[in-house]
Amino acid sequence: MDKVVLSPEKKQYQEIGEDLRAQIMQGMYPVGSRLPPERNIAEKYGVSRTIVREALLMLELQGTVDIRQGSGVYVSRIPAEHEAEEEAFFSSDIGPFEMLQARQLLESNIAAFAAKMATKADIDNLKRILEQEQRAIAINDLSQDNCKMFHLVLAGASQNQMLLATVESIWRHLDSSPMWQQLRAHIDTRSYRLKWLGDLQTILAALRRRDVMGSWQAMWQHLENVKNSLLEQSDSDAPDFDGYLFESVPIFQGKLM
């Protein structure tokens, strides 16, 4: 299979999404047909499945395709000839997996630092947030984003205002990112909320023990679990479904490489 050479002037997911949209417009994939597996698309363009997933999310937000868990990606409409407004809409949107990777690199270290710096009040606040989330899950209450609150309070527990401001900035990007919101809609279920709650309880337990490496590991694993859960939305019937979104931070014997 010949690989497509991508331009360095555009974000990769945008260029791939535009190319796939052009193929749909040219009739290569009629309405109702299924696009090739993400693995095949990634090989064609010489990119990771992270980039392919972001390109498909862009097309889904534009209403061009429908991503069906465990089934694949299907064409839902033929785009108009010129949709420059939609292209501009995504031009400043950082890919959701790129943001997730930044969080994994940053927030794991913040958790480690907070294990040394957190006050009793910080620990009590984090405990209250998790209790609140447990009650919310029981009654399927989506009115508050307790996971976000936990991460922000944890960043504040570092007692470093610059770290807190950085995490707040990341969450502002997440909240305003159409692609992140679309991706999150695929996993915003009770079972996933219970999974995240368990992860956050593990983080809190490590913080209470003042376990620096344990806190780092628990946060890293939480975001690794989020990453893997997002990939469950991909075409899992691909023969070599590899289960990764981006290159994870390597760990050797409990220490960062």
Give the CATH number, domain containing residue 122. Answer: 1.20.120.530
Q: What is the pLDDT, as a whole number, of residue 200?
A: 97
What 3 state SS string does the chain have?
A: CCCCCCCCCCCHHHHHHHHHHHHHHCCCCCCCCECCCHHHHHHHHCCCHHHHHHHHHHHHHCCCEEEECCCEEEECCCCCCCCHHHHHHHHCCCCHHHHHHHHHHHHHHHHHHHHHHCCHHHHHHHHHHHHHHHHHHHCCCCCCCHHHHHHHHHHHCCCCHHHHHHHHHHHHHHHHCHHHHHHHHCCCCHHHHHHHHHHHHHHHHHHHCCCHHHHHHHHHHHHHHHHHHHHCCCCCCCCCCCCCCCCCCCEECCEEC
Domain count, the chain: 2
Tell me the mean pLDDT in the region 36-58.
Answer: 88
State the Cα angle at 105 between 96 and 173, rounded to 5°.
35
Q: What is the pLDDT, as a whole number, of residue 246?
A: 42
- Each residue of 61-107: pLDDT tens digit? 888 898 887 788 999 988 876 554 455 445 556 778 888 889 999 99
**Shared-domain flag, residues 135 and 185:** yes
Q: Tell me whether residue 23 is in a domain.
A: yes
Q: Tell me whether residue 2 is in a domain.
A: no
**Shared-domain flag, residues 104 and 160:** yes
Question: CATH number for the domain including 31?
Answer: 1.10.10.10
Q: Tell me whether residue 246 is in a domain.
A: no
In terms of pLDDT, which residue wins out, 166 or 253?
166
**Shared-domain flag, residues 226 and 144:** yes
Residue 29: pLDDT band with limits 50, 70, 90:
very high
**Shared-domain flag, residues 102 and 225:** yes
Q: Tell me whether residue 208 is in a domain.
A: yes
C-alpha torsion 26→20→73→247, nearest 10: 170
Q: Please give the Cα distance from 85 to 203 (Å, whole number).
A: 43
**Shared-domain flag, residues 25 and 131:** no
Which residues form the domain of 218?
Answer: 96-232
User: Is the per-residue pLDDT at 17 higher than 80?
Assistant: yes
Q: Tell me whether residue 161 is in a domain.
A: yes
Q: Tell me whether residue 227 is in a domain.
A: yes
**Shared-domain flag, residues 182 and 122:** yes
Q: Tell me the HSE value of 165 on the side-chain side, using a 13 A CA sphere.
A: 3
Residue 236: pLDDT band with limits 50, 70, 90:
very low
**Shared-domain flag, residues 43 and 124:** no
**Shared-domain flag, residues 63 and 169:** no
Q: What is the pLDDT, as a whole number, of residue 202?
A: 97
**Shared-domain flag, residues 198 and 101:** yes
Q: What is the pLDDT, as a whole number, of residue 6?
A: 56
Tell me the mean pLDDT in the region 22-41.
Answer: 91
Q: Tell me whether residue 110 is in a domain.
A: yes
Give backbone dihedrals phi and psi of 77, rounded to 5 degrees, phi first.
-160, 160
Tell me the mean pLDDT in the region 226-242.
Answer: 58
User: Is the per-residue pLDDT at 153 higher than 90?
Assistant: yes
**Shared-domain flag, residues 167 and 216:** yes
Mean pLDDT over each residue of the chain, to the nearest integer:
82
Q: What is the pLDDT, as a whole number, of residue 250?
A: 47
Q: Tell me whether residue 181 is in a domain.
A: yes
Tell me the mean pLDDT in the region 38-57.
Answer: 88
Q: What is the pLDDT, as a whole number, of residue 81?
A: 63
Under 8 Å between Cβ of 187 and 53 = no
State the Cα angle at 215 between 207 and 156, rounded to 5°.
60
**Shared-domain flag, residues 107 and 53:** no
**Shared-domain flag, residues 72 and 136:** no
Q: What is the pLDDT, as a whole number, of residue 110?
A: 97
Q: What is the pLDDT, as a whole number, of residue 190?
A: 84
Under 8 Å between Cβ of 187 and 233 = yes
